[in-house]
Structure 1
Amino acid sequence: MLTRLIPSSQQLLPVVGVGTWQTFDVRGTAAYPQLQQTLTTLRAAGGTVIDTSPMYGRAEEVVGDLTSQTEIPDAFFYATKVWTQGREAGIQQMEDSLRKLRRPAVDLMQIHNLVDWKTHLRTLRDWQAAGKVRYVGITHYTNAMHDELAQILATETIDFVQFNYSILDRNAEKRLLPVAAERGVATLINRPFTKGNLLAQVRGKVLPDWAAELGITTWAQFLLKFLVAHPAVTCVIPGTRNPDHLADNLLAGEGELPDEAVREKMAAYVRAL
């Protein structure tokens, strides 16, 4: 799989990971074998990033259960979030996340949807200095918050920013992606299929013949490779519990990437469907 540098550390990160919203929020263990195979598929393809949050129901606990059963739990890149008001509540929630994930420290702790971000950022600076988190990030999922995310990146030292971006939802290209690139901030892309609507929109449609030149054989690969090809994108994190769907997604992180002219051609083709 292709990799991109995390600017603040120069660590390489695989360009496709997996999100856990709804998909890993399961009751009991009946779904564990399928989810375990999903994580096995992720690692077999060279992926590492698992993005979760305390607002995703049992997802953190499920990720902790599954990764602790593997032979290489340290091989994953664990990204979670703090999503509450107040310093003490934030500390308690982050401690709970470490316990649920069964980790002494987490790779990336993100301030979810900028909730009380100034308070949590101070705490995360201390946690980062103590080695309890490696990277600090901020997140949102709506276009309306892109300017605020960009403003924070311009004034604060942040390692990661996570936000929505897709082939038909390109608002992030206006300011947020350029500011992230200028400030040396790694990016995680959520809602790469525009909350799933894109896959429904292209279902049954024919891929263009020229997609094969990029090794693209499915619409998921087409839509994700468009994003991965943007030079300021570090990693895309489509959510799924299905190992076959994930295997398909992960192929977007391999092979040749389209240049800017081809990216525009890709976007125009999807708009015309």
Structure 2
Amino acid sequence: MSPDRRRFLSHSTCFAATALGLSGGAWPAAGPAAQGPLRRAIPGTRDTLPVIGMGTSDTFNVGTEAAERAPLAQVLALLLQTPGSVIDTAPSYGSAEAVTGDLLQGAHARAKVFLATKISASAGSPAQAQWTQSLRDLHSDSVDLLQVHNLIDWRDNLRFLRQLKEQGKTRYIGITHYREDAHDALIQIVRAERLDFVQLNYSLAERNAERTLLPLCQERGMAVLVNRPFQDGRLFRAVKDRPLPPLAAELDCASWGQLFLKFIVSHPAVTAAIPATSKPKNMQDNLGAGFGRMPDAGQRAQIAALLA
């Protein structure tokens, strides 16, 4: 285990233990390991993102009860140890956008994250109304990344996003999808449009993006966020009761989850992966994938062979 990762795990355990008391005050300063995780540049800029961020689909769709939100506060506390980490949400994720906004506001932490959300309404008045509500829910007057969700009315909604970018309401714009059958459409849009980000599905179980989409994003200078990195748990079911291979130790991986994530973020086109979880233990494990040695091409092939 690398020294940076060892310090991170030690520090994060203490940090998570105090997370429930943070809602009324300032966040503690991040420890020395906050500078340790691998970061990737957003193409064409000086901005960088930690390679492990967080999604909120399903996991942050909870009510207002303290017991429901307590573990999410701990999850967020762990993420906040690494400045500028991605939090990706959407108005179509039930209450997730509002919960994200409430937790960030309670922690005085909006400026400490790279906040991403989406437009998932029809173009025109519905999209404009949705955006207004998103800002209310997020307790913010802007976001870092605004995306057209699942290509809904993507031409007109992209125009809307560009207007918002010109107005300083979002720093970056992009498009998203979560299924491989949408990759051809994503490819055509990436070829034709100037975008800052593309969010797509990519994992050991879904590698179609490697053929054309990921290389094209890299060629076109577009950052890539990866959703469904565990394919909704399918990967964990595939390795249930299997011991970690020796390769895991070579790559400073303490779990299958870290091995799966390192396969993703070691692809040169990938900027960050955004696994979603409501469990602090899993969040801590996910974040550990940003530390230590990353697989080279040969080791990536060895990882892929584990599920062949």
- Interval containing the TM-score (normalised by the shorter chain): over 0.9
Per-residue deviation at 1:194?
Answer: 1.2
Matching residue of 1:22: 58
Matching residue of 1:11: 47
- Rounded to whole Å, the distance in 2 between the matches of 1:160 and 1:54 is 19
- Rounded to whole Å, the distance in 1 between the matches of 2:84 and 2:163 is 29
Structure 1: gaps spanning 5 or more residues: none
Aligned partner (choices 211, 216, 235) of residue 248 of structure 2: 211
Q: CA RMSD in A?
A: 1.1
Matching residue of 2:282: 245
Matching residue of 1:115: 152
Matching residue of 2:19: none
Per-residue deviation at 1:141?
Answer: 0.8
What SS does structure 2 have at the residue aligned with 1:231?
A: coil
Q: Please tell me whether residue 83 in structure 1 is matched to residue 120 in structure 2.
A: yes
1:1-273 alignment runs, 5 A limit: 1-29=37-65, 30-46=67-83, 48-271=85-308
Per-residue deviation at 1:33?
Answer: 1.6
Per mean C-alpha deviation after superposition, the further-off stretch among 108-117 and 202-211 is 202-211
Aligned residue type for 1:221: Q
| TM-score scaled by length of structure 2 | 0.86
1:16–1:47: 8 Å Cα contact kept in structure 2?
A: no
- Rounded to whole Å, the distance in 1 between the matches of 2:125 and 2:59 is 29
- Rounded to whole Å, the distance in 1 between the matches of 2:135 and 2:169 is 9
Structure 2: gaps spanning 5 or more residues: 1-36
Q: Give the 3 Å change call, closer, same or farther, for CA 181–210 of structure 1 in structure 2.
A: same
Q: Give the 3 Å change call, closer, same or farther, for CA 47–226 of structure 1 in structure 2.
A: farther
- Rounded to whole Å, the distance in 1 between the matches of 2:84 and 2:242 is 29
- Rounded to whole Å, the distance in 2 between the matches of 1:68 and 1:183 is 36
Aligned residue type for 2:233: G
1:217-241, Cα deviation, whole Å (9 max, x unpaired): 1000010000010000000001101
- Rounded to whole Å, the distance in 1 between the matches of 2:125 and 2:169 is 16
Aligned residues between the structures = 271
1:161–1:188: 8 Å Cα contact kept in structure 2?
A: yes
| TM-score scaled by length of structure 1 | 0.97
Aligned residue type for 2:127: G
- Rounded to whole Å, the distance in 2 between the matches of 1:14 and 1:189 is 13
Percent identity reads 47
Per-residue deviation at 1:131?
Answer: 0.2
Per-residue deviation at 1:95?
Answer: 1.2
Per-residue deviation at 1:213?
Answer: 1.1
Per-residue deviation at 1:46?
Answer: 4.8
- Rounded to whole Å, the distance in 2 between the matches of 1:265 and 1:45 is 30
Per mean C-alpha deviation after superposition, the further-off stretch among 16-25 and 63-72 is 63-72
What SS does structure 2 have at the residue aligned with 1:64?
A: helix
- Rounded to whole Å, the distance in 1 between the matches of 2:58 and 2:151 is 21
Structure 1: which 4+ aligned runs deviate by more than 2 Å? Answer: none
1:89-135, Cα deviation, whole Å (9 max, x unpaired): 11111111111001110111110000001111111111001100111
- Rounded to whole Å, the distance in 2 between the matches of 1:255 and 1:180 is 26
